[in-house]
Amino acid sequence: MADLAGQAGVSRGMIHKIERAESSPTATLLGRISGAFGISMSTLIARAEMPEGQLLRQADQPVWQDPQSGYLRRHLSPRSDVPVDLVQITLPPGSDVPMPAAAYIDARQLIWVQQGALIFREGAHLHRMAAGDCLALGPPNDCAFINRSDAPCIYVVVRANLAR
C-alpha cells in the first residue's frame, strides 16, 4: 500500500478511503493511481466494473463521474483480448481536467471530438479541436482536457494498449 501511495503521489489514507468506498476519486487521482500500476485508467475501471462477454450493451457500459469536474466517462468497448479500448467522455463547460503522463504509458491514443469544442494541452502544445476532428497523441506527456465553451464537449478516446 505504501509503495502504491508513493508511486502515485497520493496519501495512504486516501488510498484506504477509495478502497473502502468512503471517497470518490477524481479523474486526475485515478490517472495517477493507474499510472502507478502501469495500466490505463480505462483498464483500472474495466477490471473493477466490466462484465465478461463479447457484447457490451449500452445499459451495461460502466459510467463514472468525476466528483470534482463533473466529467462523465462511459466505457464503450467490451472486455476482451483486443488491445483497444473505446471511452466516451462528456466534458462539462468550464472544465480543465489534467492527466499525468504516467496514465499513458504503454499506449497510443486518438481523441475524436463528437460534439462541441475541446482544447487538448499536450505538454506545452495546445490542440484546438471541433466536432469531427481527430488527434493522434504523441509519446506520453502531462496533458489536460479543457472545455472553455458554454456547452458540453463529447469526445471518444481510442486507446491502443501496446503492452498486454
- Report pLDDT digits (tens) over 83-122: 888 999 999 999 999 988 887 777 899 999 999 999 999 9
Which of 7 and 106 is assigned the larger pLDDT?
A: 106
User: pLDDT value at position 79?
Assistant: 80
**Continuous segment of H or E residues that includes residue 8:** helix 2-8
Place of cell 489536460: 144
Q: What grid cell was written down for 50?
A: 466490466
pTM (2 d.p.): 0.74
Task: Find the angle CA(66)-CA(41)-CA(46) to the nearest 5 degrees.
Answer: 95
Query: What length is written for the chain?
Result: 164
Residue 138 in contact with residue 122, Cβ under 8 Å?
yes
C-alpha distances out from residue 33 to 27, 66, 144, Å: 10, 15, 17
CATH code at position 9: 2.60.120.10
Confidence class for position 49, pLDDT limits 50, 70, 90: low
The predicted structure's pLDDT at residue 24: 72
H helices within 9-102, ranges in order? 12-19, 27-37, 41-49
Average pLDDT over residues 50-76: 87
The neighbouring-strand residues paired with 4 are none
* pLDDT band per the 50, 70, 90 thresholds, residue 8: low
Confidence tier at 26 by pLDDT (50, 70, 90): confident
Q: Which domain holds residue 100?
A: 2-161
What domain count does the chain have?
A: 1
